[in-house]
Structure 1
Amino acid sequence: MAEQSLVFSFFLIFTGAAILATLALYTRQPLLVAYIVLGALLGPYGLSLVTDTALLADISHIGIIFLLFLLGLDMQPSHLLHMLKKATLVAIASSLIFMATGYGASLLFGFSQIEALIIGAALMFSSTIIGIKLLPTTVLHHRHTGELVVGLLLLQDVIAILVLLLLYSGNNEEQSGALAFLKTLAALPLMTAGAFLFVRYVLLRLLQSFDRFHEYIFLLALGWCLGMAELAQAIGLSAEMGAFVAGVTLATSPISQYIATSLKPLRDFFLILFFFSIGASFNLALVDAILVPSLVMTALVLALKPVVFRFLLIRISESKKLAWEIGFRLGQISEFSLLIAYLATSAALIGQEASHVIQATTILTFLFSSYLVIFNFPSPIAISDRLRKD
């Protein structure tokens, strides 16, 4: 029965997505909007046709892992290190500004100190999915833009992991929380070094020996990506970071572009599930209670993030045009914000209203930010033929 239920859920999701995507294309709307609206419509708070949203969210998480793996395959390690050094100050300064803004606004709406801190933390990050999915990857003159966006997102991921560790350790002893931080700080460079050695002495030799068997290359790439994701989680990092390291360590291989092309359809399959699960998990009954604070937070994010990123990027000698573009591309909050809301609610640190303010702000900034980007900057799903670039 469970298998039939999952198959029926997939039927509803992908058939519904195909129908709404068709309408979205005819009305020149971004496809992401169609997937989120479909989730709200079919999910447990809508028509209740798809009820196991926790399972779908777990499955869709694989899409984010594949997205980061493919991103890593496009990044040369030397370029990445240069960009991370350049973007560190921007990432830290912007995160502090966004947290302070969210904290102050939350206090004005009557949330407690701890709720205001967690809402502020949720506003610090930008979406890896939105930022990368709407970024052209094959156009040469966007290469520098892509490297800056990726560098900032990766640094934000590191900050997000530290925030999540704080939440994870909320129910543990103080010593275990301190040990978790130390382990995380040591884990990333050790995992990266080990991955480079494994790729050089094992993986590349296997690829060279059996490069005629495309099915084997596909399986080896999947195993490497998901294996590194699991390893990262086991040592206190995020699965996404493990997948990215897996991609970067393979980026210098001549087979990397073949792997990237092979995995793109699989990535898109899981990302549709991800956006559906966002819409489906939102409790529509709380809309009245959270509408005003969510709209205010959304307006603050959409107005403040482009301005802050523009100001900080100009300070590191980027052009005004590029600084504006990156600011708008990162002008939303993150899927990490949803995870922060879930963990904080589970640990009884915040109430349902604060949790749903974070969720609603995430969804709204996803939608409005997507509109701003696809109407004004080059992207694979741009409405204008002039701006549509893959």
Structure 2
Amino acid sequence: MNQDIVFSFFLVFSGATIFATLALFTRQPLLIAYIALGALVGPFGMGWIEHPENLSDMSHIGIIFLLFLLGLDMQPAALIAVLRKATAVALVSSLVFFATGFGLSQAFAFSLTDSLVIGLAMMFSSTIIGLKLLPTTVLHHKHMGELMIGLLLIQDLLAILTLILLGVMSGNSDMPIWQPFVALPLLVTACYLVVKGVLLPLIARFDRYQEYLFILAIGWCLAVAEGAKIIGLTYEIGAFVAGVTLATSPIAQFIAISLKPLRDFFLVMFFFALGASFNLGLLSAVVIPAVILAVLVLVIKPLTFRYLLAGFSERRALAWDVGFRLGQISEFSLLIAFVALESQLLSEQGSSLIQATAIITFAISSYIVVFNYPNPIAVKDKLRRD
């Protein structure tokens, strides 16, 4: 069925209204409703949406805005302090998660290259799940938020290196492995200078015009995100840097509040596209290893983060909280699977295993957080915090 963009939006948001209503009545997380809707009407379901990748490209803007808003809530000095702690935890935990994925895929007789890619895909936790379910305006969660952002930023850098490595292995990349480490300090310095020399004077002069401030914030976020992509980083890292460098502005909180509806609009599309892109026909071939791998991820990730963070004198309750919020694999895992499949470094079966594991861990991890920890979409009033 051919459809225009209006029909696609009709299916996404009218369908999301129905599914979200059912989810609230049955006390289910809204994220699961959006994923289920995508699977139902996508090309592997009823076929009403034939090309979910078009919506997926648009929905990526929601992730960019999410990282920008989180950057607005974090002062640069606090970020530097937490990165010192997060780096060691992120590196050690990534080795544990890689070994888990590699070992299980070898046990199920996947090829060596498949096992390597599957192991790499298991290393990362979902930025979108972890941060979407994190309260942003509750003071006593601020340290946990900084810690999670530090871990996810280190993982983002590792994911970039992984994608570069896959490109080198396939012969499709000319980017040197050192480039992200040089590009990031340059990006931060350039953004700091632009904010101090250009943006803050403009904000001080035109702070009465709310429409102008809204457009300025969006333009700054997307400009830095695009600049980051050009120099070898990711849109997410660029958006976060844009937010952090603007966090010292007196209108940072106004910008954060103004952009939340726009962020949520695109995030609904993200989860819909995720469900629509999953090939249900290949599920039977990988269902057993996918379920076992998902269970291992859901158990090993919280345990690993709990004990590593405890080693850095974090409170046990906070360490468990962070561990469960990061207890899934990542949207980067799906990107790694796509790149490796296109480069013929991963079989169709291996790609399906990564996709199935992602869907299962996204769903169960969301359930765990929504029903047990403070979050913006909790079904229990005492846990609902925005």
TM-score, structure 1 normalization: 0.97
Aligned to 2:284: 288
Q: What pairs with 1:250-329 in structure 2 (closer than 5 Å)?
A: 250-329=246-325
Q: What pairs with 1:149-188 in structure 2 (closer than 5 Å)?
A: 149-172=148-171, 176-177=174-175, 180-188=176-184
Q: What pairs with 1:59-78 in structure 2 (closer than 5 Å)?
A: 59-78=58-77
Q: In structure 2, what is the Cα distance between the partners aligned to 1:43 and 1:169? A: 33
| CA distances 1:89-145 after superposition (whole Å, capped 9, x unpaired) | 110000000001100000111111111111111111111111111111111111111
Q: In structure 2, what is the Cα distance between the partners aligned to 1:270 and 1:168? A: 29
Q: In structure 2, what is the Cα distance between the partners aligned to 1:354 and 1:171? A: 17
CA contact (8 A) 2:157 2:180 kept: no
Aligned to 1:117: 116
Q: In structure 1, what is the Cα distance between the partners aligned to 2:48 and 2:89? A: 44
Q: In structure 2, what is the Cα distance between the partners aligned to 1:173 and 1:362? A: 26
The CA deviation at 1:172 is 2.8
The CA deviation at 1:19 is 0.3
The CA deviation at 1:385 is 1.3
The CA deviation at 1:171 is 3.3
Q: In structure 1, what is the Cα distance between the partners aligned to 2:316 and 2:308? A: 11
Q: In structure 2, what is the Cα distance between the partners aligned to 1:186 and 1:320? A: 36
Q: Which stretches of structure 1, 4 residues or longer, exceed 3 Å deviation after superposition?
A: none
Aligned to 2:45: 46
Q: What pairs with 1:1-390 in structure 2 (closer than 5 Å)?
A: 5-172=4-171, 176-177=174-175, 180-390=176-386
Q: In structure 2, what is the Cα distance between the partners aligned to 1:276 and 1:22? A: 16
Q: In structure 2, what is the Cα distance between the partners aligned to 1:365 and 1:24? A: 19
Q: In structure 2, what is the Cα distance between the partners aligned to 1:22 and 1:327? A: 30
The CA deviation at 1:168 is 2.7
Change beyond 3 A, Cα 1:173–1:387: closer
| CA distances 1:179-208 after superposition (whole Å, capped 9, x unpaired) | x22222200001101100000000111111
What one-letter code is carried by the residue in structure 2 that aligns with 1:172? Answer: G
| CA distances 1:225-245 after superposition (whole Å, capped 9, x unpaired) | 111111111011001100100
TM-score, structure 2 normalization: 0.98
Q: In structure 2, what is the Cα distance between the partners aligned to 1:164 and 1:173? A: 11
* Paired residues, number: 386
CA contact (8 A) 2:67 2:239 kept: yes
What one-letter code is carried by the residue in structure 2 that aligns with 1:114? Answer: T
CA contact (8 A) 2:87 2:154 kept: yes
CA contact (8 A) 2:62 2:270 kept: yes
The CA deviation at 1:170 is 3.1
Q: In structure 2, what is the Cα distance between the partners aligned to 1:286 and 1:189? A: 43
What one-letter code is carried by the residue in structure 1 that aligns with 2:171? Answer: N
